[in-house]
Each structure stands twice: as C-alpha cells, then as structure tokens.
Structure 1
Amino acid sequence: MYTHIMVGSNDLARSKRFYDALFGAIGGKPGMEDGRGRVFYRHSGAVFIVTRPIDGEPATHANGGTIGFRAVDPAQVDAWYAAGLAEGGSATEEPVGPRKTGLGPAYTGYLRDPDGNKLCMACPMPAA
C-alpha cells in the first residue's frame, strides 16, 4: 500500500544508532546514508527513512500518528522493544504484551524514538 515511511530527526547520528539497534533486533541491516544526509533502511520489502526536515525547521512527531511494524512472533516484539529502550527510546502506552485490538488479539510493544515518533511492533496471536 505504501512506498516508504519517512520520519524527521534533529540528530541523525542518534537516530541511526536507535534504528540500527531497533531493526537489527528483527534481522535488519544497519541503515545506509545517502549523499543528502538521509538514512535508509530496507527490510522484508519495506523502506524506512530518517532525515532532517528539508525546510530547515526542527523535526517534530505526529500527534496521534503511529508507525506499525510487523513481527513474526512475540520474541521478536520483545527483542525490538528491548533494543529500542537500550538506545534511547521511551516506553509509551501499555506495557509490551498481549492486547485485544480492532484486528483481533495481538502481541504488541509501543515505543517513542528519541525524536518522539510513536512506533509499534506487533504480531497476531491465535484466538483463545
């Protein structure tokens, strides 16, 4: 449905450390910086980009926005969550674990990256 997701950052080096750890926890490779100072991540057919805002204004996060990533199992959600916390992310919403969602039962973890962007990693759980 989408071609890529891009978030802004006020400190690209800090963001690269955070996202390298976050995506590394689920088997992704470190981000590659292009000549314009953007960091690109490619994994499982998806593209995620971190950049300084091109208008020169400070990066801000979207109020009400969440970027969701798919996990293969709860262990991958836990690894992703721990890596994010270790690299400067912060816990948000309920603790990582099972939840009832509008799409059925899922195992989820929510973090904010160091710039405040809200991220979610989730995998479906079998119905009880």
Structure 2
Amino acid sequence: MFTHVTLGANDLEASHKFYDAVLGALGHQPGTLSEAPMPGVWYMTPRGMLGVVKPRDGQAACHANGGTIGFFASSPEAVVAFAEAGVAAGGTAIEDPAGPRNSPFGVVHLAYLRDPAGNKICAVHRPG
C-alpha cells in the first residue's frame, strides 16, 4: 500500500542508532546515511522504505499527536526484542509492556516506543 514513510529527526546520529537497533531486532539491515539531497537515514526493503530525515524547511522536527507507525514482527519474541533494543538504543517504552493484547481482531502482540525525536512506533505480530 505504501511506497515510503518519513519521520522527522533533530539528531540523526541518535535516530540512526535507535532505528538500526529496533529494525535490526525485526531482521532488517542497518540504515544508509545520506547527506544530500535530503539528509537522513534510509531503510529499504523490497516492499517499501523508511526515511528518518531532517525537515526540509530547516525547522525543528516534531512528532504527530495520534500518529503511529507499525512494523511487522514475525513472532511474539521479535516484538519483545524490538522493545528491548529500542530502550537500549535511547527510546522510551510507552503504554503497556510488550506482549499480547486483546483487540477487536483477536489477540495481537504489541510493543510501543517513542524514538529519540518523540515519534510513536510499534511492532506488531498477529498470530496466523
């Protein structure tokens, strides 16, 4: 559905460390740092791309209130690894601890974090 998602960051070094850790816990390769034309860190998969960038307008990055980006996790253990890697890399665990939750779609395994810039992300595993 999506080709890419970008998040704003004020400290690319901290964001690079954080996203390498959380996405690495989900099995993705480290990000590629780009200086131009848009300074940022890019994570590519065959199905899409995540960019963590300095805002083009030169203003400070800020997070969306109510916005969340969810990352696919292949197992409940990957959800927990995502949460642990994120906290160890400078993120903040938010909401309930990583693990199973009841939802309108059945039981899902979730972990919610704030990245170093305050963006809200989560890892999601939906048992088959």
Does TM-score exceed 0.5, indicating one fold?
Answer: yes
SS in 2 for 1:106: strand
Greater shift, 103-112 or 37-46, is seen at 37-46
Equivalent residues in 2 for 1:72-83, closer than 5 Å? 72-83=74-85
Equivalent residues in 2 for 1:34-53, closer than 5 Å? 34-36=34-36, 37-43=39-45, 45-53=47-55
The residue that corresponds to 2:94 in the other structure is 92
Q: Aligned letter for 1:42?
A: M
Greater shift, 98-107 or 3-12, is seen at 98-107
- CA deviation profile, 1:89-126 (whole Å, cap 9, x unmatched): 00111111111123321011000001000001011136
Q: CA deviation at 1:44?
A: 5.4
SS in 2 for 1:28: coil
How many pairs does the alignment contain?
A: 126
CA-based RMSD of the aligned residues comes to 1.2
Structure 1 residues not aligned, in runs of 5+: none
- CA deviation profile, 1:46-101 (whole Å, cap 9, x unmatched): 31100000001100000000000111110111111100000110011111111112
Quote the sequence identity (%).
46
Q: Aligned letter for 1:115?
A: A
Q: Aligned letter for 2:56?
A: I
SS in 1 for 2:58: coil
Equivalents in 2 of 1:35, 1:86: separation in Å?
Answer: 26
Structure 2 residues not aligned, in runs of 5+: none
The TM-score with structure 2 as length reference comes to 0.93
